Amino acid sequence: MTSSVEEAITEAGGDPKTFTEAAHVTETKLPDADVTADVVVIGSGASSFMSAITAAKAGSKVVVLEKAGNLAAVNGVKVSGPFAVNTPVLRERGTTLTVNEVFQHVMNYTHWEPKSALIRNYLEHRVKRLKTYWRSVTNLRKQTSVLKLLSSMKRAASI
Amino acid sequence: MILTDVDKRVRLWTEAYEKYGVDAFFNTAAKEVLKENGKIAGVAGQRKDGSKVTVHAKSVIIASGGYLGNKELLLKYLGTTHVNVAARGKSLCTGDGLAIAQKAGTILDKTFGYCGCEYGGTNPKASRPATQDKYDQNLAFKFGIYGNLLVDNQGKRFMNEGLLCDYPMSYGEEPTLRHSPYYAIVDQEYVDKMRDEGLYEYLTKRGANHDNWFIGSYYKQRGGLRSLDSDLEEGIHEGWIVKADTLEELAKKTGFDHLTGTVASYNSYCEKGEDEQFGANPWYLSSVKQGPFYAIECEVSAWSTFGGVKTDDECRALAEDDQVIPGMYVVGTDNGSMMYSPYYDIPGFCYGSCIGSGVIAGHGASAYAKA
């Protein structure tokens, strides 16, 4: 389309660049935006989404800035199930893996390298109100498979 | 491995944003954290078309997803640029969050790593590289993870290949990253077995079973790699697989000076049933004797990088001397204090900690903004 217009302009003796460059700018550029919020989140992946929704539920006005053109492009909608302990969905399914068990395993594995209180905080964090989210993650890691993996890791380490 | 349909999650997230009045600006990159009188005051962003998006806010949450799309930072923090995007294509995660945070006065924590792809090797030269689906790729890349002989670019062995197969992320990802690209060395006999039997049948015949081989269930339903012959041909054509009738010829073609010596030692371990160098589980030891021989060039790929801003246990960003920067939070893979290298041995721990840190920061940022 653009090239045929360019040809027509050239044939008429004009400079096609003045048209195409102008057309490009007027077609795509949006006006500047200046907004006010309580919380601004950079990114819209898994952690950003949870940040935004949590802050909004707590009563804050939240704005999200995402580099991609839409949500289908972000990592958070593509990756498989998250690991979690003590979520409503897991409890409903009768699993009993505890924060203590997981925390001790993780800290032994890492020799306490990451920030322990932050790991503990993440594992303990109450997610009662996020039932919808947990239900959306259909393959939430089952306790049995995690326990089996952990025991096989112990075997591997003792070889 | 997509177990939750992308469209479904996109719909759910979109609905959640609408329900709770979250305004999302797309095609918008954050450029700078704004400050007023030394306090956090919002973010200056820019759309793809060049227009500006300015958000005034007391709390800023940085969650830009690491630096997988930034070769310079990959080299700086992971020691190699040979880290591919497991989800295919280019990653939009170019370290923006780290740069913005540092400019605003934070320091980075000291651990850098990656959440590696557990489905095999990959190669940028391949027309069908690793993808999110386990088998929608050139199947020759499976030799980058099946536990067969692997060598570096000198032809020297560099790891216990069995552990890579058993625990691709926690045990496998650091050695393969250090040697990316690394090379699988296999013979025609092994290729035939993988094409006709597949890894599960091959290893269960050698003593692996449901109880002693955790990862086995992964391969159980798969059977042989049926398209292997044509996939190998494709790799040769594309320049990431080298084929030769003899090992000497393979060593010459690849330029791997130590290859023939390495294979001779490795074959002796196979005969003894004991890996005297790295202690690989004997059922993985597969001799390299029957020509033609193949060298398959594999690079690692990643779901995400690890490493970034140092925070406290509430995900609040820290400046030098651990001084909290009020109103500034860092979560997900931009948070440098929560991730570990090599990756955690619990599946889904990265995604779980992204969600968990998001919840922690969401509460904190909201409370701070309203205080």
Query: How would you list the strands of the sheet with B323-330, edge to edge?
Result: B23-25, A62-65, A39-42, B59-62, B323-330, B316-319
Question: Do the Cβ atoms of B37 and A16 come closer than 8 Å?
Answer: no
Cβ within 8 Å, pair A39-B348: no
Q: What one-character-per-residue DSSP string does A80-105 give?
A: -PPP-SS-HHHHHTT----HHHHHHH
Q: Is A23 an 8 Å CB contact of chain B?
A: no
Query: What are B21-51's pLDDT values in tens digits?
Result: 999 999 999 999 999 999 999 999 999 999 9
DSSP one-letter code for B137: S
Question: pLDDT band for position A145 (50/70/90)?
Answer: low
Q: What's at A56, amino acid-wise?
A: A
User: Hunting for tokens 């112990």 — which residue is that?
Assistant: A154
The more confident residue out of A18 and B91 is B91
Chain A's closest residue to B54, CA to CA, is A34
* Residue B129 three-state SS: coil
- CB of A138 within 8 Å of a chain B CB? The answer is yes
- The confidence score (pLDDT) of residue A21 equals 53
Over residues B120-162, the pLDDT tens digits come to 889 999 999 877 667 789 999 999 999 999 999 999 999 999 9
Indicate which of B5, B11, B345 best probes the interface with A, i.e. most A CBs within 10 Å of its own CB. B345
Q: What is the pLDDT of residue A26?
A: 52
Look up the ipTM and state it.
Answer: 0.94
* E-state strands within A56-144: 62-65
- Residue B367, both tokens: 């409370």
The predicted-structure confidence for A96-142, as pLDDT tens digits, reads as follows 778 888 899 999 999 999 999 999 998 887 554 455 555 544 444 44
A54–B362 C-beta distance less than 8 A:
yes
B24 touches chain A (CB under 8 A): yes
Range scoring the smallest mean pLDDT among B14-18, B151-155, B348-352, B357-361: B348-352
Closest chain A CA to residue B131: A78
* pLDDT tops 60 at residue A19: no
User: Looking at residue B220, what is its pLDDT?
Assistant: 85
- At residue A158, the pLDDT reads 43
Higher pLDDT among residues B104 and A93, named by residue: B104
Q: Do B1 and A115 touch (CB under 8 A)?
A: no
CA neighbor of B142 nearest in space, from B62, B89, B202, B66: B202
User: Is B315 an 8 Å CB contact of chain A?
Assistant: yes
Mean pLDDT, chain B, as a whole number?
Answer: 94
* Contact residues for B29 (Cβ-Cβ < 8 A; gap 6+): A65, A67, B45, B46, B47, B48, B96
B318: left (phi over 0), alpha (psi -120 to 50) or beta: beta
Identify the burial level of A126 via C-beta atoms within 10 angstroms of its C-beta, where 0-12 means exposed, 13-18 middle and 19 or more buried. exposed
Residue with tokens 């949006």: A30
Contacts of A45 (CB under 8 A, 6+ apart): A74, A75, A76, B63, B65, B332, B354
Strand order in the sheet with B83-85: B83-85, B300-306, B113-116
> What pLDDT, on a 0 to 100 scale, did the predictor assign at position A143?
43
Tokens representing residue B122 in the block: 């990959």
B87-96 pLDDT per residue, tens = 878 899 999 9
Contact between A121 and B360 under an 8 Å Cβ cutoff? The reply is: yes
With contact defined as beta carbons under 8 Å apart, do B350 and B343 qualify? yes
Which of B1, B11, B20 is the best substitution to test chain A (most A C-beta atoms within 10 A)?
Answer: B20
Q: Measured between CB atoms, does B12 come within 8 Å of chain A? A: yes
Q: Which of B4, B13, B43 sits opposite A42 (nearest CB)?
A: B43
- Answer whether A2 touches B (CB < 8 Å): no
pLDDT of residue B3: 45
Q: Does A130 touch chain B (CB under 8 A)?
A: yes
Check CB contact of B4 with chain A, cutoff 8 Å: yes
Higher local confidence (pLDDT), B2 or B264: B264
| Run of H or E residues at B367 | helix B349-370
Q: Which of B276, B278, B334 is nearest to B306 (CA)?
A: B334
Q: To the nearest whole number, what is the mean pLDDT of chain A?
A: 74
Q: Which residue of B has its CA nearest to A24?
A: B49
Quote the pLDDT of residue B2: 41
Interface probe, candidates B344, B355, B366, chain A, greatest A C-beta count within 10 A:
B355
Does the beta carbon of B50 lie under 8 angstroms from any beta carbon of chain A? yes
Lowest mean pLDDT among A142-151, B136-145, B277-286: A142-151
Q: Each residue of B225-252: pLDDT tens digit?
A: 999 999 999 999 999 999 999 999 999 9
Residues 38-57 of A with CB under 8 A from B: 38-57
Answer whether B354 touches A (CB < 8 Å): yes
Give Cβ neighbours of residue B139 (< 8 Å, ≥ 6 apart): B225, B227, B228, B231
Residue B28, pLDDT score = 98
Asked whether the beta carbons of residue B22 and residue A64 sit closer than 8 angstroms, the reply is yes
pLDDT of B74 > 50? The answer is: yes
Q: Determine whether the interchain pair A152/B65 forms a contact, defined as Cβ–Cβ distance below 8 Å.
A: no
Percent of chain B with pLDDT over 70: 98
Q: Ramachandran region of residue B155, left (φ > 0), alpha (ψ -120 to 50) or beta?
A: left
Considering only the beta carbons, identify the residue of A58, A65, A105 that sits closest to B362: A58
The residue in chain A having the minimum alpha-carbon distance to the alpha carbon of residue B160 is: A156
On whether any CB of chain B is under 8 Å from the CB of A30, the answer is: yes
